[in-house]
Amino acid sequence: MASPILAAQDVALVSGAFRRSIPVKDFDHLAKTGEARGLLKQLLSLSQQNPDTVAKLLNQKLDLPLVLTSRLINTRIGEAIIRRVGQIIYPIYTPQPEVSIPALRAGVVNGLHNSSDGLTAVDFLKAYPNEVLAVNLPALFSVIAKAQSISGLVQFFSDSPLDGLKEAKP
């Protein structure tokens, strides 16, 4: 008899000694119905997030070819990217790179293999080979802040300050 395949059952939000777990089935329910429930509903309400918007994010598909993606995440640049992601999400009790990096790779590759039309966040969670996926909240917020500042910088330079230059003709 085949042994059951491991998959994430919970997503643990971690900040220092604080830890709260949300079942993956609640993310799946939100993605399928647009309706949040349990702790996820409370967190979305506290953070003033629209459940429909979060459901759309959870359903956002990344159209990645399986073989090419598998090869890419095993290159040096792929390793560097996964190493950075592994500082934000990792198996709850073993955040060390020698465990978190293979787990991330497996989540991506297995998620792509199990899905016929692209990888979603829920597909990844259902394919992640550890019962509890930890999300380091301070590390996540740091990345979000950096991404927002880069986005703001790009927006600044692509908007009005350069409008005169865009329209200028030699």
Q: pLDDT tens, 28-81?
A: 999 999 999 999 999 999 989 999 999 999 999 988 899 999 999 999 998 999
Strand partners, 11: 22, 133
Domain edges within the chain? 10-23+61-153
Identity of the residue numbered 74? N
Query: SS3 helix, strand, coil % of the chain, rounded to 5?
Result: 60, 15, 30
pTM: 0.80
Comparing CA positions, the residue from 89, 86, 81 lying closest to residue 13 is 89
pLDDT band at residue 3 under the 50/70/90 scheme: very low
Q: Which residues lie below 8 Å from residue 72, measured CB to CB, with a gap of 6+?
A: 78
SS3 of 49-86? CCHHHHHHHHHCCECCCHHHHHHHCCCHHHHHHHHHHC
